[in-house]
Amino acid sequence: MSQAPISGEPHSEEPRSEEPRSGRSGTGRDVVFVDGVRTPFGRAGEKGIYAGTRADDLVVKCIRELMRRNPSLPADRIDEVAVAATTQTGDQGLTIGRTAALLAGLPRTVPGFAVDRMCAGAMTAVTTTASGIAFGAYDVVIAGGVEHMGNHPMGEGADPNPRFMSERLVDPAALNMGNTAENLHDRFPAITKDRADAYAVASQDKLAAAYDNGRIQPDLVPVATIKPGQGWTLNTMDEPPRPGTSLEDLAALRTPFRPHGRVTAGNAAGLNDGATAALLASADAAAELGLPVKMRLVSYAFAGVEPEVMGIGPVPATEKALKNAGLGIGDIGLFEINEAFAVQVLSFLDHFGIADDDPRVNRYGGAIAVGHPLASSGVRLMNQLARQFEEDPSVRYGMTTMCVGLGMGATVIWENPHHGAYGSAEAETATTETEGAAA
């Protein structure tokens, strides 16, 4: 690919001058986000809340909760179940979309499949099934992801082809995500460790405020777990957050990926367990079945970058998604950016000329605070964007975006059904100009 997205040259926040597309999803039917849920996220390892819990049981909890929350949806109207996992072995294997559907009690006539695009697994499950809806193959689907990093440590059982090294197809650092983050710091020296730490502290603070204001809890599925000698525990909150984290706390952390480096456990997402699931439908099916509409899918895109700087992936993916939608970065009123590493988010913000503390970005905090169970995280971003749309009808368009291991990026653009111009192609140009000027 070209080097333009890697150059660090900021893009204007002005909206695109040409008229945006009418808002239809490609040439097919409208696709809407009906509902989304997730388990509380846990810390991976023997002391984590999900030690001894199966990964497939976590995603089953999410599917059952979606059905409970949407009683007007007959189970036999679900046309597909797509579930992502990065490590598709053991309790995350056996075509987990199908096995989770069966375990959740859906009719045996409901098919399912598994997805793997590493961190963007759930996002890919959503976009793949959404494409089927737009095409007319499906009316209603369930899409999500699960990652139990305690049961399946990152990279466990992987056998990279020796050609990667012998033919120098990728830099050796590309196989370690922490090293790729250090590489981003090298490439963009303006993103200092102090700046990354400050962003991480803000993420913790924003998540704590969101919890205090009841913004996170409505999307969580309580999960009961049992441990020898401890009995049963009902888990209703995320385990990774560290509210009250200070810059002084982060400054004292070691840099495990490089001596005197800049990436620490405090300015990066941790190793986590958790599951997510979303309910998607065609707009017509949602109306027929009396299902709510929380967002409408506008466009999506995936892009590849040099694997050794995988964190820059959201930049070209976003540029492609904006082009597909006929929008500019200034048209986006809310951003949900997965915080794999602080430097990755900051490189995205710098590229598009967005301030570190822009109130449009990750209003509820992000993965640095709440955790990043790899393949499940895409739907968490969507859940949070949908709730922010409901709170802020002044915003018409929002974005969910993330970097992906081995050098990729993923972006999905959504429209807010609470906005006054929702569904109005005629009003779209004027609305775009107004929102862009305000941004």
Active site residue 119: yes
Q: Identify the burial level of 18 via C-beta atoms within 10 angstroms of its C-beta, where 0-12 means exposed, 13-18 middle and 19 or more buried.
A: exposed
Catalytic residue among 148, 152, 351, 372: 372
- Pairing assessment for the beta strands 42-43 and 223-227 based on DSSP bridges: unpaired
Task: Write down the number of H helices and E strands in the chain.
Answer: 13, 12
Q: Is 372 a known active-site residue?
A: yes
Residue with tokens 């569904």: 423
Token readout for 122 is 């759930």
Q: What is the distance between the alpha carbons of residues 212 and 210, in angstroms, rounded to a whole number?
A: 5
DSSP labels, 96-138: HHHHHHHHTT--TT--EEEE--GGGHHHHHHHHHHHHHHHTS-
Catalytic residue among 62, 148, 185, 403: 403
Q: Are 412 and 402 in contact (CB under 8 A)?
A: no
Lookup: tokens for 220: 């969580």
Active site residue 62: no
Distance CA 16, CA 342 (A): 28
* 151 closest CA partner among 231, 103, 94, 93: 93
Task: Name the active-site residue from 11, 119, 148, 351.
Answer: 119
Question: Which candidate, 263, 270, 266, places its Cα nearest to that of 238?
Answer: 270
CA 235 to each of CA 39, 42, 228, 343: distance values in angstroms, whole numbers, following the listed order: 9, 9, 16, 31
**What are the catalytic residues?**
119, 372, 403
